[in-house]
Amino acid sequence: MLDIEGCLAGALAVPGALDALVAEDAGGAAVASGSLTSLDPQALADAFTASLRTTLDALALSTPGGTVRLEDVIVTTDRGHHLLRPLCPTPAGTALLYLRLDGERANLALARHRLRAIAGRLGGG
Amino acid sequence: MASASRTDTAARRTGRGAPPPSRLDAVLGNLARERATGALRVGRAGTIYITGGRITYAESVHVPGVEDLLTASGRVAAAVVTEVRRAAAADGGETLVRQGTLTRGELQFCVLGATLDAAFSLHEVTGARPRFREGDRHWLGPQWYFDVAGLSRECRRRRLRLDHAWPSPALDTRPVVPAPRVTADRVVLTAVQWEVIVHADATATPADLARRLGRPVYPLLLAVRQLAAAGLLVPPAPANGTPGGPPPADPPAPGGAAAADGASGELPRREKGASRPAGAPPAHSADGTDVGVLIRLRDALERLL
């Protein structure tokens, strides 16, 4: 079983991981972060929770015939990947995990597999 | 969750310096410096538990505590919580995890969420005289540690975010009344907004709804203000002859309530102004939705890169 710090450590142990952050969705607060070289955790939390909300808005408007459940959001740039993943739903809110990956060293499929396993070990639901 | 750079950024984002510390902030600051352990009672409004100078739990009479969140939501049976609480000295959280009631992640997130919610509520309390009792501990035991300055900063950030959604506290403490008819052709809601609309019965305030649903108050307050901004609630009765509630600082974001979320509000103002034509597209039109979503998607992506 994992706790929040363990979840963060697990994300940073993914090959090619550069930065990781855990935020909460109820208020959008940065909860824990690891290896953020020059980034402000709260600014990052603001940016990626806003991005997640926008993605959900767009999905709501673009998904014909039914409800979808978001598993993760992947943004690929010329330098790497950004992964956003909701995990550990609780009555108090859901955790949001952000992971930035190096494009040269990371394997996107492996990273998603690891994050799915982390979500399972964190529990909730 | 604290860093010096974050203070700078927060001050820059709000466009002004940090506000003068309140009495509560000053007392908490002293307790942090002394690395105190105990419970700080904030008048009759609630209690903040401190362990080694860091905040480990907060409860407010105005928001559901961890027990309420777990039981009202149906996640844990009330009898289980009562039993563990009765048997626990100051390690009830360990018991809940050990007996498999909750995972550690769930417990941490519930404590963290309840503490953020209560701290926000207690920061709004004025005039209460805080009293510290050395050595008092919460029955759950420490599950998450907040530094005092970081938690105060988070409370200020939450306040700003509420005001961005709809700059009036008028609806915060009144019964939520959904509008019987809306001018939009269709409406997009978040899950929390849906719960507010479904459970609003014209008598329950956001705090009542929170207790009933087993949710923190803050996300419901935010949802209520967003719904108000999107014109989906009956506005508060006019006071002093002013027609309707105070208008939002910005026109409601197009695309219904979901689009009125803090997503646009938290981005730098000038970008928003610059990218939106003077005659903003009418709310809820299909064009406005597309443009609004695209602009916010672009802005959000830019901030990520």
Q: DSSP assignment of B20-48, as one string?
A: PPPHHHHHHHHHHHTT--EEEEETTTEEE
Mean pLDDT, chain B, rounded, equals: 81
Residues B251 and B163 in one domain: yes
| Rounded distance between C-alpha atoms, residue B74 and residue B13, angstroms | 39
Residues B175 and B246 in one domain: yes
**Both tokens assigned to A46:** 């603001």
Residue A56 has pLDDT above 80, yes or no: yes
Over residues B57-76, the mean pLDDT reads 95
| Rounded distance between C-alpha atoms, residue B81 and residue B86, angstroms | 8
**Both tokens assigned to B260:** 């009125």
Residues B11 and B133 in one domain: yes
Contact indicator for B250, B256 with CB cutoff of 8 Å = no
Query: Taking CB atoms and an 8 Å limit, are B258 and A60 in contact across chains?
Result: yes
- State whether residue B66 sits within 8 Å of chain A by CB: yes
Indicate the pLDDT class of residue B253, thresholds 50, 70 and 90: very low
ipTM: 0.92
The predicted model scores a pTM of 0.80
Bigger pLDDT: B197 vs B3? B197
Supply φ then ψ for residue A101, to 5 degrees: -120, 145
Q: Which residue is closest to B300 within chain A, CA to CA?
A: A51
- State whether residue B304 sits within 8 Å of chain A by CB: yes
User: How high is the pLDDT of residue B188?
Assistant: 87
Residues B163 and B79 in one domain: no
User: How high is the pLDDT of residue B257?
Assistant: 45
How is the beta sheet containing B38-42 ordered, strand by strand?
B54-60, B46-51, B38-42, B130-134
Residues B47 and B95 in one domain: yes
Supply φ then ψ for residue B236, to 5 degrees: -60, 150
User: How high is the pLDDT of residue A124?
Assistant: 76
Residues B258 and B170 in one domain: yes
**Both tokens assigned to B199:** 């459970």
Listed residue (A74, A78, A79, A70) closest to A111, CA to CA: A74
Query: Taking CB atoms and an 8 Å limit, are B69 and A124 in contact across chains?
Result: no
User: How high is the pLDDT of residue B263?
Assistant: 41
**Both tokens assigned to B112:** 């963290």
Determine the residue type at B231.
G
Query: Taking CB atoms and an 8 Å limit, are A2 and B104 in contact across chains?
Result: yes
Residues B17 and B51 in one domain: yes
Residue B105 has pLDDT above 70, yes or no: yes
Cα B91-B114-A3 angle, rounded to 5 deg:
55
Residues B232 and B135 in one domain: no
Over residues B29-42, the mean pLDDT reads 96
Contact indicator for A100, A19 with CB cutoff of 8 Å = yes
Domain count along chain B:
2
Residues B142 and B27 in one domain: yes
Chain A CB contacts of B299 under 8 Å are: 50
| Rounded distance between C-alpha atoms, residue B279 and residue B277, angstroms | 5
Chain B: give the shortest CA distance to residue A105, in Å. Answer: 18
Chain A CB contacts of B304 under 8 Å are: 47-48, 51, 75, 82
Residues B250 and B139 in one domain: no
Over residues B100-116, the mean pLDDT reads 95
- Ramachandran assignment for B127, one of left (phi > 0), alpha (psi -120 to 50 degrees), beta (any other): left
Residues B129 and B182 in one domain: no
Residues B212 and B129 in one domain: no
Query: Taking CB atoms and an 8 Å limit, are B105 and A58 in contact across chains?
Result: no
Indicate the pLDDT class of residue B292, thresholds 50, 70 and 90: low
Query: Taking CB atoms and an 8 Å limit, are A27 and B190 in contact across chains?
Result: no
- Listed in order, strand segments (DSSP E) in chain A are 17-24, 30-34, 73-76, 80-90, 93-102
Pairing relationship of beta strands A93-102 and B46-51 according to DSSP bridges: unpaired
Residues of A with CB under 8 A from a CB of B: 1-4, 7, 24, 26-33, 40-43, 46-48, 50-51, 53-58, 60-61, 75, 77, 82, 88, 90-93, 95, 122-124
Q: Give the domain extent around B32.
A: 5-147+268-304
DSSP 8-state secondary structure symbol assigned to residue B238 = P
